[in-house]
Structures are given as C-alpha cells and as structure tokens.
Structure 1
Amino acid sequence: MSAGGPKRQSALLTVTRFEAERRLRTTAIAGAALAAYGILFVWVGPDLAGGEGMQQLLDAMPPVLNALLGFESLASLEGLLAGEYYTFGWLVGLAGYIAYSAAGSVAGDVETGRMDTLLAAPVSRSSVLLGNYLALLVPIVGVNVIVAPILYVASAIVGDPLAVDRLAALHALSIPYLLCWSAIGLLLGVVFRRSRVAGRIALGLVFGAWLAESVLAVSDFSVAGAVLPAYYLDPSAVLVDGEVDLLAAGVLLLATAAFVGIARQLFTRRDL
C-alpha cells in the first residue's frame, strides 16, 4: 500500500480538527440562543395552546393560511414547537446559518488568500475542502445535542413534558436536512468564491426553498416540492404524529453526497 493514502487521511483529519475547533465557540452561542428561544415557547406554550383565544384565532383564520403556516397544529405544546419554533428555528434559521457558514468556509479562505497558504503545505485541495465540510458537523450535531435535553427539561418543569422518543427523532432527522444545506452552501462557496455573495445566496435559497415548499404543499402541485430539502423534514409529522420517515432522511443524505461530490470536483480542477 502506498503512503499517499495514510498521508491524505492524516491531512484530512488535521484540517477537520483545526476547523472544528474554530467552530466550538459559535456552536455554543448558537445552541444557547436557540435553547433560550425554545424555552420561551415552552414557558408560554401550555397557556397559549390550551387557551380559548388560540382556538378562536385558528377558527377565524382561512384554512389555506392555517395549512401554509402550520397554524392548525398550535393547539398543543408539541404543535406549537413544531409549527413555529422548529419551522423558523430549524428549517429556516439554523439551516440558514449552516448554509451561510458552509458557503464562507472555503470561499472566505480563497478570497483572503489564506487558501494559498494552506495549499503551500503538504495537503491536497480535496482534504482542505472535505475537512472544512466535516468541521460543520460541530454546529450541526452540537446545537441539536444542546437544545434537545434543555427543551425536554423545560417542558417537564412546566408540567407538559414532551415525548422523549419523538423529540430525539426530530433532532436526529434534522441532521440529514442540515447536512444537505451545508453541502449546498459548500458548493455555492466553490462556485462563487466570494464569501459574502455565496453566503447571501445560500441564505436566500434556504428561505426561498422553505417558502416555496410551504406554498406547494397546500396546492395541487405538492409533488414538485420533492426537489426542495424542506419537503423531506416535517417537524409536525415527527413531534405531533410520531412519524419517522427514514426514506426521506436517506434521500437527503444522497443529495448531500452528490452536492459535496460536485463541489469537490469543481474545487480540485478550477484555478483559485
């Protein structure tokens, strides 16, 4: 066996470890912020979801608008969290942050000239790209690990504990969704090479994809949403109904591999 394989693996691990350590602080901040945001929902959730005012509001809203924004599930704490907190906190907010970070991970190094310094060392372009991508597992996994137990404890304190299995399933299934968006962001960073441009496009795509899928879901063309990542993660289905769609997670992982593969091919062949 040639020494190239072990050397490449060593370089990949070195880049991954270095980039992962740089993301620890922002991961802790993001996790704390999302946990605090979730605690707010849990704190007001039982009174809000169980109140007559909420039901009257839902009855007064147009059915299409209720379905579009997930208002029909707000009659319980699980529905409130799934329809509001996880929709805007995870499908849009966290996914946007991850995609933006991925877009700037390589594009920022190319733009500032740091990439030239990295590649001057005995490390391949592929190792640098994949190392930057794997480092994104720190915020993706870290935020989920931080938030899930905090929300459960908070719900138990207010006397309306969430189902542990459903809560764990939702956070586990969100990982393929976030990985997919991080791969899209990585590809955008390779294509556009300017971190701000790539990051803004990534943010726009996350929000636009969620909005488009939400509109398509209440139309006669819902199947068209299958090209969008949000189609494969429904917080209400998991947290409220207990549905676990492993096939959807598999589709997201396949899409992730495809986007990373395309980004790798472009990055290794194009001039910096």
Structure 2
Amino acid sequence: MFETARYEMGRRLRGTAILSILISLYTGFIVWYFTVLENVPIEDVFEELPPAMRDAFGVESLATIEGFLGAEVYSFVWVLGLGLYFAYVAGGTIAGDVESKRMDLLLSFPISRSRLIAEKFSALLVPIVGVNVIASGAIYAQVTAIGESIDPMHLVLTHVLSVPYLLVCAAIGTMFSVVASRAALAERGAIGVVFVLFLVESVVGGADEYDWIQYLSPTYYYEPTPLLIDGTYDLIDTGILLAAFVGLLVLSQILFHRRDI
C-alpha cells in the first residue's frame, strides 16, 4: 500500500538535499552581505526605490536583518523562485509518465487514477517540507553567527505558512500535467501561469481600477516580510490557500479521470 508514494518520495530525497544546500549557501551570502552594508545608509536607498518596486518585492525595511532577508531572500527565493520551481516539478509528474508510456504500466495496477495523483503529489511534500526545515535552521544559525538576532517564532511561522502557498503552486503544475500531452508543455505552462500571477498581484494589482485582480494570485495571501519583522499574519489567508490547493488537486483528479490515455 502506498508503494507509488514511497517510491516517488525516495526519488525526491537527493534533489531535496541539493536544493536545500544551494538555498542555504545563498542565504549565507545574503546574511554576510548584510554585515558589509552595516555602515552604508541603506535606508536612504530604500526611500529612493519606486513604491511599485517596494510592493512587488515586499521591501519594508533594509536596515534590519528581518527586513533585509524578507527583501533579498524570501520575496525572491520563496515567493517567486520556489513557487516557479514546484510548479515546474509538478508539471512533469503525470505528463512525463504519459509521454514515456510509463503511465500505461502504472494504470495496469489495481490503483485508481485519483489515488495515483494523490500519491504522486504527496511526494512533493518531501522537498516542500525538507527545504523549509533545513533552510530555516541554516538561516537562524547564520544570523546568530554574525551577532544579529531574529525571533525564532517569526522565522518558523514564515516557513510554516509558506507551505500552503507552495502547495498551490505545485497544484497548478499538477493541473497542467494531467491535461498536457508532453511534459515540456506542462512545465512551461505551469511556470508561465505562476509567474503571471506573481506579476498580476505585485504590479497590476497595485492600480486602483484593477485592485480586484490581485485576489486571484496566491502571492497575495502569503507575505513573508511582515511575518519576519513582527509576526503579522492572517489565518484566513492561509485557509484560502489551503482551499485553493484542495480545489486544484480535486480538479486535476477529475480532469485525469476524463482523459483518454
């Protein structure tokens, strides 16, 4: 039972380790760079940034380690980078097996299509959880090493509440994966949609006449910088992300049921 999930999770371990190491190395550089800028009037640079840019990348304050990490790490790596990454990876889960004819073998076993998607998707929890656990520990250690302090609860909340957001991005990729005939099409379509949704919320959503459109983007419901600085969050936003994730996954199962393999 759950053989597919165990097999797929095993395949994700090596990639999770590599991704975690790369992100930890990047965050280490950013934390070190913060010490270099200690004597630079960085708040003056912050004030000169266009409001649209500050909103797009969650820049609130560059003088504190929390604000600096929020702008240089979380807004880029977690919101945009990992969002695109998990959309891309999920985009190849089903479409790749269909393209390689491996799906014919999988469906010959006594397993429903809905369960197959659920088990394959569950394997993505390995990198989603693994990267957050390893990176959060690395960031806390790196910040402590330079003599700065960061609220550990705020840091934990920032990573825990990123999980629903990343699940939505992965679910978008899964939906593309069940309808596309080739893995490359599903992967490109998924990262394209996630990137457009990021732009919609960060750029277009700032205009008063288009204010409503930002609610369509998952990035609207996850803001890491306020979480890091003062622990501000809204559980309703998290609930919306979880509901969107479940809805997209169920829709993917329905579409896959109707697809002729």
Match of 1:261 among 244, 250, 253: 250
2:160 is aligned, of 169, 172, 182, to: 172
- Paired residues, what number? 260
How many angstroms apart in 1 are the aligned matches of 2:89 and 2:3? 19
Q: TM-score, normalised by structure 1?
A: 0.91
Residue 66 of structure 1 aligns with an amino acid whose one-letter code is R
Identity level (%) = 40
Q: Is the 8 A contact 2:179 2:259 kept in 1?
A: no
**Residues 51-200 of structure 1: matches in 2 within 5 Å?**
51-200=39-188
Cα-to-partner distance string for 1:202-257 (whole Å, 9 max, x where unaligned): 11122221122111453324342111100000011111121122111111010011
**Equivalent in 14, 23, 31 of residue 42 of structure 1:** 31
Residue number among 236, 240, 245 corresponding to 1:247 in the alignment: 236
Contact 1:46 1:76 in 2 (8 A): no
1:119 is displaced (CA, Å) by: 1.3
2:10 aligned residue (18, 21, 26):
21
Decide which moves more: 127-136 or 59-68: 59-68
Q: Deviations over 1:112-149 (max 9, x none)?
A: 00000111222222221111111110111111011001
* Deviating 4+ runs (over 6 angstroms): none
SS at 1:198's partner residue?
helix
Please name the residue that 1:5 is paired with.
Answer: none
Q: Measure the CA separation in 1 of the matches of 2:152 and 2:19.
A: 22
Displacement of 1:14 in angstroms is: 1.3
Cα distance change, pair 51–205 in 1 and its aligned pair in 2 (3 A): farther
State the distance in 2 between where 1:261 and 1:68 align: 31
Aligned to 2:134, the other structure's residue is in SS state helix
> 8 Å contact 2:58–2:223 — kept in the other structure?
no
RMSD of equivalent CA atoms: 1.5
Distance 2:211 2:232 in 1: 19
Q: Which runs of 5+ in 1 are unaligned?
A: 1-9
Q: CA deviation at 1:70?
A: 3.4
> Are the equivalent residues in 1 in contact too, given 2:57–2:76 (CA < 8 A)?
no
- Specify the SS of the correspondent of 1:87: helix
What is the Cα deviation at residue 84 of structure 1?
A: 2.1
1:69, distance to aligned residue in structure 2 (A): 3.3
